Amino acid sequence: MANLQGKVALVTGAASGNGRGMAVRFAEDGADVVIADIDEPGMEETARLVRQQERRALVRRCDVSSKADVDALISAATSEFGRLDIAVANAGVVESETDCLRMTEEQWARTIGINLTGVFFTLQAAANAMIEQGRGGRLIAIASIMAEWGSAGAPAYCAGKGGVKQLVKSFAQAVGHLGITCNAIGPGFITTQMTRGMRDNPAVERMLIDRTPVGYIGDPVDVAAVAAFLAGDDARFVNGTIIFPDGGITAGNYSGAMREAREAAQ
């Protein structure tokens, strides 16, 4: 485990899924945690899990597509805890009926507003707070394997996540000399609410598992483990890159069924 004793971590989109997983992992590793989301009951449950680790939790409602909300979030974090060491821009959405030919202007704006603009606002506000403190810090943005792929059914989601992959490179150059690193995490298919629709379809779930070389779908703890590494001292020389906890699905055109067929033919 990373040693985050005495550190303060902030996670947006922390009411469930990967955000909750990262918030709890940071608490397990010794950090106090700022929990931000628009789902207030979900945030309270995450806070309960953080406090179970005997760490402090601050719950704050925040719409990351609003710069005013994000600025107020960072201000509340530093006012409450006196410092900010780790900031994870995790909040994101994926909408249905958003294919390339039918997606509306409103759907595009909402997805980009949260998944890309919201990440920028979070990284910018957190970076400025860390610079003012003068103690360095860790900026982490949640991208996706869709930063590497396209999807006819989710053009804004892919564009936003591809933008996040590029955005961390810019921040890495802007603040690296100040002891602040900025990296992205690109999860594969993880057992969260966002992937439930796919996992509820047995044929789609079998396809996802078949495409993943390790042979199973990941859990939020797998994403949290990468976040804990990037948040700790062991990642001090990791900057401006993206790590994919995806079971190998971005490694290439893999199929478990085809592998079994080849092995049977030998």
- Between CA 92 and CA 111 the distance in angstroms is 8
Strand, coil or helix: 35? strand
- Between CA 127 and CA 104 the distance in angstroms is 33
- The answer to whether the beta carbons of residues 218 and 146 sit under 8 Å apart is no
Q: Which two tokens stand for residue 182?
A: 């900025």
- Between CA 185 and CA 191 the distance in angstroms is 16
Q: How many CA atoms lie within 13 A of 252 on its CB side?
A: 2
Q: What one-character DSSP code corresponds to residue 236?
A: T
Mind telling me the catalytic residues? 157
